[in-house]
Amino acid sequence: GNFVLQIPAGVWKTVQTNDGFKGIKLTPTPKPNPDGSYTVKLTPDQWQTFQDNQKNPPQQAAPQQAEPEPPVDEENITAVKDPSGNFVLRIPTGIWPIIIPR
C-alpha cells in the first residue's frame, strides 16, 4: 500500500525549506486542508526517497517579519489573532469588575 502523510502547516514549511520532497513528483499538487495541514499520498518508493531526504541536515528558514504589537488599550477589550489562528482577548483590569458579575 501507499503511505498517507498528514503534515501540519508549520511542518509543511520546514519540509519544503529542507527539500523533503526532492526527487518526488507530487500529483496532484497538494492543496492546504481547511486547518492548514496538507495530506500527501506516497508510493513505497516515494516514501523511501522522502525518508532519505529527511536524513539531510536541516536548513535554516529565513526569519519571518514579526507582526507589530497592537497598541495597548486600557479602556476597551481588544482581540488579536495569534500565529496559530486563535483569537486572544485582552481585558483591562478596570473592566473585569463590570464583566465578572454578569
pLDDT digits (tens, 9 = 90+) for 20-51: 899 999 888 899 999 989 999 999 999 999 99
What nine digits make up the cell of 57?
Answer: 541536515
What's this model's pTM, rounded to 2 decimal places? Answer: 0.54
What nine digits make up the cell of 37?
Answer: 495541514
Integer Cα distance of 52 and 31 in angstroms:
24
**Among 57, 102, 98, 59, which Cα is nearest to 76's?**
98
What nine digits make up the cell of 98?
Answer: 463590570
Confidence label for 63 from pLDDT (cuts 50, 70 and 90): low
Q: Cα 50 from chain centroid?
A: 20
Q: Around Cβ 20, how many Cβ atoms within 10 Å? A: 21
67-74 average pLDDT score: 67
- For 1-102, list the strands marked E by DSSP: 3-7, 38-42, 78-81, 87-90
